[in-house]
C-alpha cells in the first residue's frame, strides 16, 4: 500500500503528519511525502517551527494512479498554501475522480473545498471550516472521526490532533479495505 501525504513547503502541523505517517508505515504501507516544491518541508507545532522533512516527490510529477490513497495533514497554513496551487488541487481531485480513499484532518478539508469534492458528503474538520464546507455542498458534523462513503471512494475526516488515534485507526481500516 503506497500512500501519498500532500503538504505545502511550510506550515504542516507536525503531529498531523507524523502520527498518520507512522500508522501507515506500521501497517506495512509506504508513506510518500509529496509537496509543491522539492527539498524539505518545514513542519510546525501550532505556531512555532518544528522539524523539517525531506520531500519524496513534487506534486507536478505525481499522479493519483501511483498511490493507493491520500492523506491531507492539517495546520492552518498548510492547506491555505495548497489551495491556490492548481497542481495540488488537481492532484487531490484526481483521487476522487479515480475512486481512491482520502483522509483529511483539522484544516486540511480547505483543499477539499477548493477541489469541489464535498457535495453530498458530511465531513468533520476544525470547527472554523464549518461554513466553508457547507458552502461547498457538504454537511459539516462535529465528530471525532467521520467516514463518508458517498461517491466511488471513501473520505475519512477528523477535527484536531486530539482525534489522531481514532483518525489513524479509521484511515488504516479504509485504506486496507480499499486495497482488499
pLDDT digits (tens, 9 = 90+) for 100-112: 999 999 999 999 9
Q: Are 82 and 4 in contact (CB under 8 A)?
A: no
User: Is 90 exceeded by the pLDDT of residue 150?
Assistant: no
**How far is the C-alpha of 28 from the C-alpha of 70, rounded, in Å?**
16
**Against a cut of 0.95, is the pTM above it?**
yes
Domain extents in the chain: 2-179
CA distance readout (Å), 76 to 15, 21, 61, 64, 107: 13, 19, 25, 24, 6
**Domain 2-179, CATH:** 3.40.50.880
- Within the chain, residue ranges assigned H as helices are 14-26, 77-82, 86-97, 109-114, 130-135, 164-179
pLDDT digits (tens, 9 = 90+) for 62-75: 999 999 999 999 99
Residues with active-site annotation: 106-107
Amino acid at each position: 500500500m503506497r500512500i501519498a501525504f500532500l503538504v505545502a513547503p511550510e506550515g504542516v502541523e507536525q503531529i498531523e503528519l507524523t502520527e498518520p505517517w507512522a500508522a501507515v508505515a506500521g501497517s506495512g504501507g509506504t508513506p510518500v511525502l509529496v509537496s509543491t516544491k522539492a527539498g524539505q518541508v518545514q513542519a510546525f507545532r501550532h505556531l512555532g517551527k518544528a522539524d523539517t522533512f525531506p520531500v519524496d516527490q513534487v506534486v507536478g510529477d505525481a499522479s493519483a494512479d501511483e498511490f493507493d490513497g491520500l492523506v491531507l495533514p492539517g495546520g492552518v497554513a498548510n492547506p491555505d498554501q495548497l489551495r491556490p496551487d492548481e497542481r495540488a488541487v488537481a492532484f487531490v481531485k484526481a483521487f476522487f475522480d479515480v475512486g481512491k480513499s482520502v483522509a483529511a484532518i483539522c484544516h486540511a478539508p480547505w483543499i477539499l473545498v477548493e477541489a469541489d469534492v464535498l457535495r453530498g458528503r458530511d465531513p468533520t474538520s476544525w470547527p472554523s471550516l464549518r461554513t466553508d464546507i457547507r458552502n461547498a455542498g457538504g454537511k459539516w458534523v462535529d465528530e471525532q472521526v467521520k467516514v463518508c462513503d458517498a461517491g466511488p471512494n471513501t473520505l475519512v475526516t477528523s477535527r484536531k490532533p486530539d482525534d489522531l488515534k481514532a483518525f489513524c485507526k479509521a484511515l488504516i481500516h479504509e485504506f486496507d479495505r480499499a486495497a482488499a
